[in-house]
Amino acid sequence: MSSKARRKKGYGVWVKTILIWGFAVLYLFPLVWTFSLSLKTQVDALSYPPKFISILTLSNYVKVWSESDFLKYCLNSLIIALSATVIGLTLATPAAYVLSRKRYKPKGSKYILFGVLSTRVVPQITFMIPFFILFRKLRLIDTHISVIIMHLTIILGFGIWMMKSYFQEIPFELEESALIDGCNYFTAFRRIILPLGAPGIATTAIFSFNYSWNEFLYSLILTGKNTKTVPLGVYNWVGYEEINWGGLTATAILALVPILIFYGFVQRGLVRGLTMGAVKG
């Protein structure tokens, strides 16, 4: 695989290694701190100087498990995030592909693309009131569908733009030879673009799922008792008087697990896509 000749440049590698680990530590610290708070009692969490070594306790996790509906929040978030991602990408991938190819895209595609982009420039807050009123009329408050629709407003436009730019990097020759071999346009898209574009699609899927899983504002106004999502579960620990740091951080840490699992799945797809591409290319 790697035919790249290794050159001698001893210290360059060291500088790079130190740099990247330095960045990694900076990036990791707030997360490590979150994790450490989830293992501390409220008193230890708020002590100064900060306690780096304290009596570790799992009581916060037990509390999240027993005192809140964490599993239910997770299930709600999962339903919403998976639906929004799947619907969003199913609609966005074909559109992105057509817009990425000179041969297929319609006249004035420039304006279509800009129109797609302009749906993103509107501040979130402006979406809240009209949709709240509309969903109340349609009796869709406290349903998954309303939140999924809100998330699609973001995911669709983002997906079309992201994937279009990834698809552009795939040379047209590959599809052309498939077409000459007798594939029709749809099969060429399925057999060539989907596997070759897998890294881009996977990246877009990760961002979409992640956005939907973590989105707070829309969920706050549109969900109710039955459809509360994970970020609201985190927010539950914030009281008027004080913040329950243990509960908040433990919920947040637990909320990472499903995303990491999703990421793992998509990542596997990503690698498979890359190797399939390598075989074809």
Q: How far is Cα 67 from Cα 188, in angstroms, rounded to an integer?
A: 53
| Region of residue 228 (phi > 0: left; psi between -120 and 50: alpha; otherwise: beta) | beta
User: Binding string to another protein for residues 167 to 186, with x set by CB under 8 A, is what?
Assistant: -xx-x------------xxx
Q: Residues 6 or more apart from 35 whose CB is under 8 A from it? A: 249, 253
| Region of residue 108 (phi > 0: left; psi between -120 and 50: alpha; otherwise: beta) | left
Give the binding-site size for another protein (rule: CB under 8 A): 102
- Quick one: which of 39, 80, 84, 160 contacts another protein (CB under 8 A)? 160
- Quick one: which of 56, 62, 138, 217 contacts another protein (CB under 8 A)? 217
Stretch that binds another protein, among 54-62, 64-72, 138-146, 157-165 (CB under 8 A): 157-165
Residues 245-264 close enough to bind another protein by CB under 8 A: 245, 248-249, 252, 255-256, 259-260, 263
Q: 30 or 182, CB closer to another protein?
A: 30
Exposure letters 58-93 (e unless 16+ CB within 10 A, then b): eebbebbeeebebeebbebbbbbbbbbbebbbeebb
Residues 47-66 close enough to bind another protein by CB under 8 A: 47-50
Residues 6-25 close enough to bind another protein by CB under 8 A: 6, 13, 16-17, 19-21, 23-24
Q: How far is Cα 106 from Cα 98, in angstroms, rounded to an integer?
A: 8
- Quick one: which of 57, 78, 127, 140 contacts another protein (CB under 8 A)? 127
Q: 56 or 103, CB closer to another protein?
A: 103
Q: How far is Cα 54 from Cα 32, in angstroms, rounded to an integer?
A: 15
Residues 90-109 close enough to bind another protein by CB under 8 A: 91-92, 94-95, 97-99, 102-106, 109
- Quick one: which of 86, 110, 242, 275 contacts another protein (CB under 8 A)? 110
The answer to whether 135 contacts another protein (rule: CB under 8 A) is no
Q: 61 or 245, CB closer to another protein?
A: 245
Please, what is the Cα angle at 32 between 26 and 38, to 5 degrees? 155
CA 160 to chain centre: 15
Q: Least distance (Å) from another protein to the CB of residue 68?
A: 15
The answer to whether 34 contacts another protein (rule: CB under 8 A) is yes
Q: Least distance (Å) from another protein to the CB of residue 275?
A: 13
The answer to whether 265 contacts another protein (rule: CB under 8 A) is no
